[in-house]
Structure 1
Amino acid sequence: MKEIRWHGRGGQGGFTAARLLGMAASLSADYYVQAFPSFGPERRGAPVLAFTRIDTRPIHDHSKVYGCDYVVVLDESLLEVVDVFEGLKPGGTVLINSSRGAEAFAGGGRLIHTIDATGIALAVLGQPVTSTPMFGAFVGATGLVALPAALAAVEEMLPPDSRVQNREVVEWAYNELRRKADA
């Protein structure tokens, strides 16, 4: 089983990204998935969590993800208030929305990728919604699901009037992470 923890702030779309990944996994192969949020009375801007589980067998564990293979950070400022690395399995991968390079973050045996998801979102969507660029970057960084499945998930889950721009954002972020991996 692969377990992914999404760190964001209320209103950034962390749960949307978790659900998009779940949908993409279910479309790309015969996977069982779970995608769920973890939040209480937080307000817009407060730290929130979302989770995605992906497996080839039915998933019976419905608890919060404590030990994960991947961590996705939608807002770099969360690194100052939350230990996003807690529970990351040895050799795990971290993806951070940042204009800085991966070398700016302590590795500690972790594979770290960065992408300026905010910049991509502003350029295409005109607003700093980082859920879809981080979803695309995750797909590009991990190869856990295929790009066509990621784009199909956007078609399946997002409102019709935002699909074209969000597909563009997903592809842009995906290609940027693939270029970094090939370099």
Structure 2
Amino acid sequence: MNITITAKSGSKDKAQKLLESYTYTQEKTQYSIDINTSTDGIDFIDGNYIETSMEIFLPSNIENTEIALNVGDIDIDGINGSFDIYSNVGKISIQNGEGFCDLKADVGDIVLSGFSAAKSSEFSVNTGDIELNFTDISKADKIVAEAQVGTIDVTIPENTGYQATIEEFMEGKRTLSEGDGKTEINLKTNVGDIEFN
């Protein structure tokens, strides 16, 4: 694991105190890595700023990825399996993988690219956009994406069997199908547009 911590404040002494107040712990078991970060007694409204970047290298045979993050972006590349990821504020991005997902962001975007879907996957944001670019959905039973406020853009390969239900803000509900309709796709926005290709 590589970690980079950057602190900014009104003076060098204040920035040093920020770094000293920042703690992180990691606990490794055979099946998990738990990382906790905290800052004690720091007022971030006063122009104080801490940025943390963690790069974690995982073995290629990992099967389950579970992440919960309060603030920050999550980038995953080249991992297969199940993904259960929650971000309070920040972007969730997965590239070049295969598996099934349960991705949730309160405020932030969800981006999937070069991904082969399997089983059942769900993507939801309260405020933010969802962009899903699948290379294959033939192993997927169900794909659900919902944005309370934001847009949804889904791209699937040509000649793919699906049954899609699209509920778009101000457009009502429509159903599209292709081929055997094997994969069920449900897309919904309360406020925002939906692109389905």
Confirm or deny a common fold (TM above 0.5). no
Which structure's CA Rg is the greater one?
2
Q: Which has the higher strand share?
A: 2
With the length of structure 1 as denominator, give the TM-score of the two structures.
0.25
With the length of structure 2 as denominator, give the TM-score of the two structures.
0.23
* Greater relative contact order (CA < 8 Å, ≥ 6 in sequence): 1
